[in-house]
Structure formats: C-alpha cells, structure tokens
Copies of this chain bind each other. A is one copy, B any other.
Amino acid sequence: MSNFPFQRLQADLSGLIDRTPAGQRLPSEPELAKQLGVSRATLRDAMRTFETQGLVRRRQGSGTFVVGKVQALDSGLEVLESLETMAKRLGLVISVSHLSVEPLAADETLAEKLGLEVGAGLLCIRRVIRADGRPVAYLVDTLPENVLRVDDVATDFHGSVLDFLLERGDILKTSRANVSALGATAEVAKALEIQRGDVLLHFYSQLFDENAKVVDYSLSYFIPGYFHFHVVRRVGG
C-alpha cells in the first residue's frame, strides 16, 4: 500500500483503460477496488477524472465502459455556430435527446439578462446533445415568447435554436459569451449521465439581433473531453 494511493491509482487505472479494448466493460467497482487495494470511494474519485476526459463512460445498473477515441468537437470562439454546424463541418454525427420545451415567466435574473420585465412570457428549451450516442453537452435556451412560440418549435426544430432562427430569416448580429467552469448539479448530471460534481465547461451567453435586443439567453454545459474550444487573442496595448 502506497502513501499516495490516489496517484498510484490514477496510473494503474490509466494502464488498465489503455489495455482494455474500446466498448468493453471494466470490472465492477467493488471488484476493482479490491484488486487495486483501495476503497471504493477512492476508486470512484479517480475514475471521475477519466470520465471528464471522455475515456470511460459509467452507466448505473450496467457498468463502466471504455470509450474508443472519439474526435472532439473543435471550434473557434470568434464565430458562433451551432453544435450541429460544428459537427457537420467535422463530418461527425450528433443527435438530440431529452428535448423539453416549456413556457415560463421571467424571474429577476432572466428578466435582466433578456432586457425584459419580471413576469414577461418566455419559452425555455432544454436538450441533450449526443455524439456517438454519448451525452456530451446540455443546452438551455430561454427566449422571449415574441421571438419563439411553442408552435414554432413543434415543426422544423432539430435541436439548434440558432439554426432555427437563421433558417427562419431572423437577422442576428453577435453573441456575448461568458466562459467558466463548474461542478455538475444534480439536474445537469442526470441529463449528461455523469456524477454530480463532475467537472464541466460552462458558457452563458446573450444573443443579440440587429437592434441590439437580446433574443436568446443561453446556458451550455460541456463535458470537457469532447470539446476543443479555441480563440485567437490579439496582443493588447
């Protein structure tokens, strides 16, 4: 038994994952913990790091599986494009699940972000984006009801609010995005089929139309290992 179980464990697990063919199941947690001489809690702690890298996938009731090398979704931040567009550009196939469309009234936060009054009618669209069947992103868009109605979404909506608005002919100018990181809440963890507290990359952004009105307030949660976001920065002076 080492003095630094966690670091040894990460190395051991890394080796095990490398040696295991893609798609195959790893031994169960109690079994692995026993084999590697650590407690299940420590094992799970280490396993989380591999899940956020997209190397394994854990499914309650069925097991932990090694994930084959998947191509990450790669995009520059200067240009706003939907995940669908991004995937198409890279020749990948993604799908949408858990689509939920729900009218609601603006609370204080949403009212401020959207430039409306508290109580204004809104439409909230949530969905999970999957690549290779694996959930990789959870998206929540909230729009004023005069921009998007429930009926609109019933037809011609394929998962991207941005693409829907553009195809409809809306004139959109820019998006102001904020970049952060957080641990998954219970809600997001469930949607992405990960553990509560797992590391996520988080964007929250406002989409502006030609009149500088906010037409969409958007929250995005990404499993880090499946995305490469980059930006070219000018040296300032």
Contact = CB atoms under 8 A, between A and B. Distances in A.
B200 A181 contact: yes
Contact of A178 (B78, B172, B207, B228): B228
Interface in A31-51: 41, 45, 48-49
B179 A199 contact: no
Contacts of A175: 232-233, 235
B178 A181 contact: no
B177 A230 contact: yes
A13 to B, nearest CB: 14
A81 interface: yes
A173 interface: yes
Contacts of A172: 235
A144 interface: no
A180 interface: yes
A237 interface: yes
A157 interface: no
Interface string A1-20: 00010110000000000000
